[in-house]
Amino acid sequence: MRRKVLAGNWKMYKTRGEAHAFLEAFVPLISPGAENREVILCGPFTCLDVLNAQAGPYAVGAQNVHWADHGAYTGEIAPQMLVELGVRYVIVGHSERREYFNETDSTVNRRLNNAQDHDLLPILCVGETESVRKDGMTEAHIRSQLDRDLELVDLRRLIIAYEPIWAIGTGKTCEANEANRVCAMIRKHVNFEGVPILYGGSVKPENIDELMAQSDIDGVLVGGASLEAKSFARIVNFESVPPTS
Ligand SMILES: O=C[C@H](O)COP(=O)(O)O
């Protein structure tokens, strides 16, 4: 059985003090016995050591990593610098990186490979814009991203997040059955049953149970609703709905 993954992406929010306060509130709210649930907190670089010190059983993730181990790359961060801070996961290819920082499938691929070379577990983000969806090109677009991004990447040490761009931070959640359909398509395309596939895009306490009840959604990547301890705790404590058969 694939593990369940509940990941929070804080984006460019939270100072170290705010991260500390979040953890003090969040950790006691998590229900015991959430076995087989991997909780990941992806904070800004400046918070990573605070998360590592205080997050207890929960894993720490970064939001980007460079394809080189060192060099004249102002503003970038190398994998071993993250590993030294106790980071285990790293988000790669988030649509905000692709849109605002000119990430391409080629740079995403190089970042994924270097992350794995240093034993970081990457969370690759893929997804379509609203206009791609309207043109009926969602599947073709995602398959193309996967083909280019995953060259030489070890699928056994990878998480994929399906994040329809039109659903990110907009409050427009993709219907659970449609998100499930695309996640199933991704699994089939990469041809590896064991890869955890997450859904991301306006996940909140009100829709988490329905999303987690889907057959091909193994978890969620949460932006806005991961910033507040109570709402992210409700997401982590999602209620399992037994499969109907
Ligand atoms: O990485 C997280 C996604 O961009 C989703 O963000 P959101 O939950 O604020 O829509």
Summarize pLDDT for 118-149 with one digit per residue, the tens. Answer: 999 999 999 999 999 999 999 999 999 999 99
Residues with Cβ within 8 Å of residue 164, at least 6 apart in sequence: 127, 128, 133, 138, 174, 179, 182, 201
Average pLDDT, the chain: 95
User: Residue 166 carries which DSSP code?
Assistant: G
- Global pTM value: 0.96
Residue 17: strand, helix, or coil: helix
Note the pLDDT of residue 245.
Answer: 46
Each residue of 189-209: pLDDT tens digit? 999 999 999 999 999 999 999
How much distance in Å is there from the Cα of 145 to the middle of ligand 1?
Answer: 19
Note the pLDDT of residue 240.
Answer: 74
User: Residue 74 carries which DSSP code?
Assistant: T
Atom of ligand 1 nearest to the CA of 9: 1
User: Residue 205 carries which DSSP code?
Assistant: T
Atom of ligand 1 nearest to the CA of 202: 10
Closest CA to 39 of 21, 19, 61: 61
Ligand 1 proximity of 9 Cβ (cutoff 6 Å): yes
Each residue of 41-96: pLDDT tens digit? 999 999 999 999 998 899 999 999 999 999 999 999 999 999 999 999 999 999 99
163 given a catalytic annotation: yes
Residue 152: strand, helix, or coil: coil
How much distance in Å is there from the Cα of 71 to the middle of ligand 1?
Answer: 31
Structure-token match 């949460």, residue found: 222
**Alpha carbon separation from 64 to 2, 26, 112, 115, 164 (Å, rounded):** 25, 24, 10, 9, 19
Structure-token match 């306060």, residue found: 21
Which ipTM was obtained for this model? 0.99
Mean pLDDT of 204-227: 97
Residue bearing the CA closest to ligand 1, atom 8: 223
| Token couple for 109 | 């691929």
Please answer whether residues 116 and 83 qualify as being in contact, where contact means their C-beta atoms are separated by less than 8 angstroms. no
Please answer whether residues 163 and 172 qualify as being in contact, where contact means their C-beta atoms are separated by less than 8 angstroms. no
Each residue of 150-170: pLDDT tens digit? 999 999 999 999 999 999 998
Domain positions in the chain: 4-236
Share of the chain above pLDDT 70, in %: 97
Strands 159-162 and 121-126: parallel
Q: Give 198's strand partners.
A: 161, 219
pLDDT band at 173 (very low <50, low <70, confident <90, very high): confident
> Which residue in the list 38, 66, 94, 103 is annotated as catalytic?
94
Please answer whether residues 204 and 231 qualify as being in contact, where contact means their C-beta atoms are separated by less than 8 angstroms. yes
Within 10 Å of residue 58's Cβ, how many Cβ atoms? 21
70 given a catalytic annotation: no
Please answer whether residues 116 and 151 qualify as being in contact, where contact means their C-beta atoms are separated by less than 8 angstroms. no
CATH number of the structural domain 4-236: 3.20.20.70
